[in-house]
Amino acid sequence: MPSVPTPTPRVAAFERLSYGLFLHFGLYSQLGRGEWVQHAEKIATEDYLPSLMATFTAEDFDARAWAKLARRAGMRYITLTTRHHEGFSLYDTRGLSRWDVTHTPCGRDLIAEFVDGCRAEGIRPHFYHTTLDWNEPRFKSDFPAYLAYLRESVEVLCRHYGEVGGFWFDGNWSKKDADWEEDALYAVIRKHQPNAIIVNNTGIEEPGRLGNPEIDAVTFERGRPEPMDRTGHPRYVAAEMCHTLNYHWGTAARDLNYLSPAHVIEELCACRRAGANFLLNVGPLAQGGIPEYEGALLRKVGDWLEVHGGEAFFEAKPCGVQGEGSDFGLRLGEEILLFVHDLTATAATYASGGPRCQGPGPRRFTGVPGGYREARWLDSGEALAVRREGEAVVVEATGYPYGTNTVVRLAKLTR
Ligand code: GLC
């Protein structure tokens, strides 16, 4: 029988983090038209980097405030863009590149501030780093030399900022057939930061693809993660879904197409169902401040988490308990946490494609071991009737009391 591998301590620690804040901040933030603006508007290097460097002051950059917000939102880690595709670094590259923060009027090493701010709030700092570069000539003209530069850049991040939670690479999808010398890049990390997890985004087109054997977590960019079947795999690999609150990762003033707190709560639950981490993105404003709506949304979702078990919520693990539609169950010690969706007839705004159950009434769950007879809502303690019907456990879900609607409601099922 092929067995399921167990996670290394490094991967297990990453899975425990469960919910993180993704932050895209760079020169592009000043334009407010998304992080791909240079590429989209075909702006030449000389019309882009020098002028945006000259105005980069990051006056409101306050990493401690970011970390406080993340903590208030129930998140446990932050992944920040140390360098994005434009090639500008928020850290002191120690002479590797003139396109770094030390050459701007800001002058501060923002990554040093970032790790300090995170640590002060008990948040784990993770580093996003692009692998492609629109403005570095060697990327096109001398790829091996470019890759050496990339490794040296990553080594700087490994050596000068204390213990890093993980590295999140992005861009290998830009040259699908190239030799990215991944082993050499990851060896740099393993040498200096043995506890850091390594992720390399496989992009929208290849969610969940397993890559190099050093990779610790697969990615699901803006897609629902699937529960992973790890039977027979040589190593246990975690999963992480990243999503952004509108349609850009860097701030985009005219993108009003925002997710709602309700949608984010549903996504967070869908990630738990698959045992995947959820990395939720916000694009800070030109000066580094968190935009109002995004801050408010994160706090609303934090309120939901508070009501639904806070830290304990993330300890619950997939256990094969399935409901109908979006409903499912997770194991939390001896208890089973049932996730009940669409409790009011009006809440089903997000067509998920599957059959959906509506309003209060019986909810059927399969895969529940014998002996589970009692259920209570986690938020109110109200007892719910439970009966066995063949293979299924049926819980009579009562509706929300007037004045309440928490999108997804959790019940504790006990023996
Ligand atoms: C895409 C984009 C990039 C963004 C990333 C986040 O790969 O190229 O702008 O940083 O997704 O997942």
Strands of 328-332's sheet, edge to edge? 317-322, 328-332, 335-341, 408-414, 374-377, 383-384
Least trusted range by pLDDT, from 165-174, 205-214, 235-244, 369-378: 205-214
DSSP 71-94: HHTT--EEEEEEE-TT--BSS--T
Flag whether the pTM goes above 0.75: yes
260 pLDDT more than 80: yes
For 309, half-sphere exposure in the C-beta direction (CA atoms, 13 angstrom radius) is 18
Spatial contact of 324 and 363, defined as CB atoms under 8 Å apart: yes
Q: Whose CA is nearest to atom 3 of ligand 1?
A: 249
* CA distance readout (Å), 84 to 154, 182, 338, 391: 13, 18, 40, 51
The pLDDT tens digits for 180-190 are 999 999 999 99
* CA distance readout (Å), 299 to 70, 158, 230, 294: 9, 32, 34, 9
What CATH number matches the domain at 317-414, 2.60.40.1180, 3.30.60.50, 2.70.70.10, 3.30.365.10?
Answer: 2.60.40.1180
Q: How far is the CA of 371 from the centre of ligand 1 (A)?
A: 47
Pocket of ligand 1 (CB under 6 A): 24, 35-36, 170, 201, 203, 221, 242, 249
Looking at the structure, give the CATH architecture of the domain made up of residues 9-314.
Answer: Alpha-Beta Barrel (3.20)
The pLDDT tens digits for 50-92 are 999 999 999 999 999 999 999 999 999 999 999 999 999 999 9
Extents of the domains making up the chain: 9-314, 317-414
Closest to 390 measured CA to CA, from 409, 406, 368, 375: 368
How far is the C-alpha of 149 from the C-alpha of 143, rounded, in Å?
10
Q: Which atom of ligand 1 is nearest to the CA of 170?
A: 7
Q: Whose CA is nearest to atom 10 of ligand 1?
A: 249
Spatial contact of 271 and 241, defined as CB atoms under 8 Å apart: yes
Q: How far is the CA of 307 from the centre of ligand 1 (A)?
A: 32
Q: How far is the CA of 230 from the centre of ligand 1 (A)?
A: 27
Q: How far is the CA of 155 from the centre of ligand 1 (A)?
A: 22
Burial class of residue 130, CB neighbours in 10 A (0-12, 13-18, 19+): buried
